[in-house]
Amino acid sequence: MRFSCVTCAYIFPIKRCVSYKIYPKLKALDDVLGGSAAWKNVDAIDEPCPKCSHPRAYFMQVQTRSADEPMTVFYKCCSPTCGHRWKE
């Protein structure tokens, strides 16, 4: 195996294969949604929490994909002790 230049006669022999993967660090969901301040002025609906079964949850709609796709609905449990977050 070797690398060769297409414009000149340079040839570099490859002695060993070196490969590695670097995965980018993803942002936390709160940073994408606007942090904890984004949940201050949201409405609540009758949606049971899957974690604690509290009957109400705050909700927020965010366009996370292209404009022709439906909006993603994010929920946060209204119970102050739970605060579980999930999306639809």
Flag whether 4 is in a domain. Answer: no
Q: pLDDT tens, 38-63?
A: 777 888 999 999 999 999 999 988 88
Full residue range of the structural domain in which residue 55 is found: 25-87
Flag whether 14 is in a domain. Answer: no
Q: How many domains does the chain have?
A: 1
- Which domain CATH number covers 46? 2.20.25.10
Compute the half-sphere exposure of residue 4: CA atoms within 13 Å on the CB side of its CA.
Answer: 5
Q: Is 28 helix (H, G, I), strand (E, B) or coil?
A: coil
User: What's the CA angle centered on 64, arms 39 and 72, to 5 degrees?
Assistant: 65
Flag whether 6 is in a domain. Answer: no
Q: What is the Cα–Cα distance from 63 to 70, expressed in whole angstroms?
A: 7
Q: What is the Cα–Cα distance from 84 to 9, expressed in whole angstroms?
A: 63
- Would the pTM of this model clear 0.75, i.e. be above it? no
Flag whether 71 is in a domain. Answer: yes
Q: Which residue has the higher pLDDT, 25 or 6?
A: 6
Is 78 annotated as belonging to a binding site?
no
Q: pLDDT tens, 1-18?
A: 788 999 999 999 888 887
Is 17 annotated as belonging to a binding site?
no
